[in-house]
Chains A and B, each alone.
Chain A
Amino acid sequence: MTANPVAANPAPEGLDLDRVRALLLDSATVGLAVAAGADGPILLCNEAFQALFPAPAEGDLRLVDIVPGTAEPAVRERLLAGDRHTAEVEVKLGRRRLVIAVEISPAIGHADGELMIQCQNVSKLKELEYMIDSYSKMIERQNRDLAKEKDRVERLLLNIMPRRVYEEWREFGITTPERFDEATVLLLDFVGFTEMSVAHDPPKLIAELHDIVTSFDRIVEEFGCERLKTIGDAYLAASGLPEPNPEHARNIARAALRLVRYLERRNAISEVRWHCRIGISSRPVIGSVVGTQKYVYDIFGPGVNLASRLEPLCGPMQILLDERTHQLLAGELPCTSLGTQTIRGFGEQHVYRLEGATGSERP
């Protein structure tokens, strides 16, 4: 209704232009009307407008009755200046309460201050808007919960596999076994564990092991090593995998000394005394996630086997190294040769004791 399209073209012969205009007006689903100013009566309106704003039984229907805001001086000024004014009003139509968007603009020419009114039922739009709003909030909330859950799962998975392996597993759904020639493995076990009286008091035992393993984890991490698992009272850690680390032997040796020192300090003040044995080997290992339902990252191979066979040869609080670890330490940490020993699966092996732990002072 902003322009008169019918008037723009010459009317064909015999066509009643007024009738066409009236038909056009009434077939519009938008309510249309012209008011003689904000206080003046509605001069002209179409059927859609009438349905929304029926004329009162007595007197005239005025624009201010429909949009009370038009009584405000600021709105009047804007309209006089030729600007539009928009408002939303609520209308009761039968049993339904409708939201009507009203747009008021000066009528074309507006010589007499006449105002053009367009009304649209936006109830459905309002309902949809509300719904979209409410769903986005719901989805956002669910996304937040999901992210939190994902974070929790990730943290759990990082407990059972190294980050790089986890990332490969997340990306491809599988992990490929990887051989590590340059790595050092540490296996720690406790002396006389099954005979310790605490071993018969499960809650106390768990509390003790929890405390010790937590500290062990902190120590090995500090030295660039990775804890792989605990098996009962045994503790398996490695350096040089899955990320290569040229310092792997030194890292493990230093971590081993610190583990022993930690236990000594703890024993001095704790009721339960723990004595460990540590075997260290720098032989190759293979790292892989094992299992599909209950997967866990684990390492296998000569490195693990040799470390686990050196460990029982130790005295309490001692640390034994294989030949290759000793070579890699290159004299940086004091070691004592214990000569060759026959080790199952490995034959004659030169064994060294890492000095610096208190246990190394004993024969």
Chain B
Amino acid sequence: MATIFQRYGGFAVISRIVLSFYDRVLDSDQLAPYFEHVDMPVLIDHQTKFIAYLTGGPATISDEALRIAHANRGIDRPAFEEMRRLLAETLEEHGLEPADLEAVMAEIDKRAGLVVTR
């Protein structure tokens, strides 16, 4: 069966989703401070590969890489929840079917422990 990544149009669509996701993130008072000194093009690139990976696309981001990337960010649970909410909102807006959206969010939730450090 085709992966979510393939069914929704591959990198072209995933990169649009991620760009629009970060627009929301930077508009959020709760999340924006985390990105104050982050190189956004690099982050957006990583995030696109990460979402591509979660949806069965041709990229691999290991749990270890994810853990290292978030180690010194001091991310707490409410911030994670807010990020999660914004991502779900973005995915929904880009037309992901409820079952697919749920599948992506389940993958995100599985990795919460690697991201939340406070």
Give A contacts to B, CB under 8 Å.
95-97, 123-124, 126-131, 134-135, 138-139, 142
Contact = CB atoms under 8 A, between A and B. Distances in A.
Given A135-B11, A138-B59, A127 B36 contact: no
A51 B60 CA distance: 40
Interface stretch (B40-48, B74-82, B103-111): B40-48
B32 A95 contact: yes
B37 to A, nearest CB: 9
Contacts of B36: 95
Nearest to A135: B11
B15 A95 contact: no
B44 A131 contact: yes
A44 B67 CA distance: 51
Interface of B: 11, 15, 19, 26, 32-33, 35-36, 40-42, 44-45, 48-49, 58-59
A135 B36 CA distance: 25
Interface centre among B19, B32, B36, B41 (most CB of A within 10 A): B41
B58 to A, nearest CB: 6
Contact of A130 (B26, B35, B42): B42
Contact of A138 (B15, B32, B49): B49
A119 B115 CA distance: 38
Contacts of B45: 127, 130-131, 134
A127 to B, nearest CB: 5
B22 to A, nearest CB: 8
Contact of A142 (B15, B26, B35, B58): B58
Looking at chain A's contact residues, the main secondary structure is helix
B40 A127 contact: yes
Looking at chain B's contact residues, the main secondary structure is helix
B40 A97 contact: yes
B41 A127 contact: yes
Contacts of B26: 95-96
25 contacts: A95-B32, A95-B33, A95-B36, A96-B26, A97-B40, A124-B19, A127-B40, A127-B41, A127-B44, A127-B45, A128-B19, A129-B41, A130-B41, A130-B42, A130-B44, A130-B45, A131-B15, A131-B41, A131-B44, A131-B48, A134-B49, A135-B11, A138-B49, A138-B59, A139-B58
A134 B58 CA distance: 13
A78 B89 CA distance: 50
A127 B59 contact: no
B80 to A, nearest CB: 19
Contacts of B33: 95
Contacts of A139: 58
Contacts of B42: 130
Given A95-B26, A138-B58, A139-B58, 13 more contacts: A95-B32, A95-B35, A95-B36, A124-B19, A127-B40, A128-B19, A130-B42, A130-B44, A131-B48, A134-B45, A134-B49, A138-B59, A142-B58
